[in-house]
Amino acid sequence: MFGKMYIRFWGVRGSIATPGKGTVKYGGNTACIEVRCGDEILILDAGTGIRELGNTLLKEKPRHINILFSHFHYDHIEGFPFFSPIFNKDYSITLIGKSKLDGTLEQLFATQLMFPYFPLTLQELAADIGFHEVNKKSSFRVGNITIKFGHLRHPGGCLGYRIEYRGKSFVYATDTEHSDQIDVSLLNLSSRADVLVYDCNYTDEEYAGRVGAPKVGWGHSTWLQGVKIAKAAKVKKLILFHHDPSHDDGFIDRLESQTQKRFRESYAAFEGMEITL
């Protein structure tokens, strides 16, 4: 594994966790992806999938962990208070993101862990928790990893991340809404990436309101738009992500095969999916 980038999906669902017999194949946990580059651990978002990841990490020797947040909607943070390493004094954890509020990133998490929402406060966590607020620069480094970010189209804002390590690149672009024009910021961020994880929450029929209420302005995209950006950016592999809570396994199977007809190297994300670059 040394020298490679290893990726594992722990939560692939959007909006709210959806356990049940209809979601066994792809999984019902919300957004969480583990990325390992050599000895460094990066976690993308702390949806409910991070709980199981935390339990797995506890079986290894304690180390430093970086959690990168795309934004702070519930489905991307609600697993954080249940991430076991935060209760262990041998861990140091850096939370990375852009608070988007007048306050700091630290204040944002202090609010999440606050009476009456949670029984413990941020100050009571045993781990050494640090904060890295991304600034106006469009990239930063963690060890030998270069992390670039771009601003996505989502209510309240959202960051897309590009992780580069030893010539390989992995792009995480969830919670973004397309427009008539290709998003230049996203195009640049995902240019020639080995893997693009993209917000494929809706079908075009759902988005336009031909099925149910129109979803324009809700901040999400479709698999067809994923294909467009994947082709325009010349990425090697497209991963459909942020599955809608109403889409069961059979529905996602059909989305995946529809997508593959237009872009062969595309796959619907599922819990336990692993990619090594």
d(CA 250, CA 257): 11
* Cβ pair 96, 116 in contact under 8 A: no
What are the tokens at 29? 């946990």
CB of 103 to Zn ion, least distance (A): 19
Nearest residue to Zn ion, scored by beta-carbon proximity: 73
Instruction: Spell out the residues 6+ positions from residue 162 whose beta carbon is closer than 8 angstroms to its own.
Output: 147, 148, 149, 150, 169, 170, 171, 172, 189, 190, 193
**Nearest residue (CB) to Zn ion, 66 versus 174:** 174
What number of helices (H) and strands (E) belong to the chain? 7, 14
First CA to last CA distance, the chain: 10
**Nearest residue (CB) to Zn ion, 57 versus 173:** 173
CB of 46 to Zn ion, least distance (A): 12
CB of 76 to Zn ion, least distance (A): 6
CB of 10 to Zn ion, least distance (A): 15
**Nearest residue (CB) to Zn ion, 14 versus 28:** 14
Residues in contact with Zn ion by the rule CB under 5 A: 14, 73, 75, 175
**Nearest residue (CB) to Zn ion, 5 versus 173:** 173
CB of 244 to Zn ion, least distance (A): 10
**Nearest residue (CB) to Zn ion, 91 versus 221:** 221
Ordered alpha helix ranges (H), 129-269: 184-190, 204-208, 223-233, 249-262
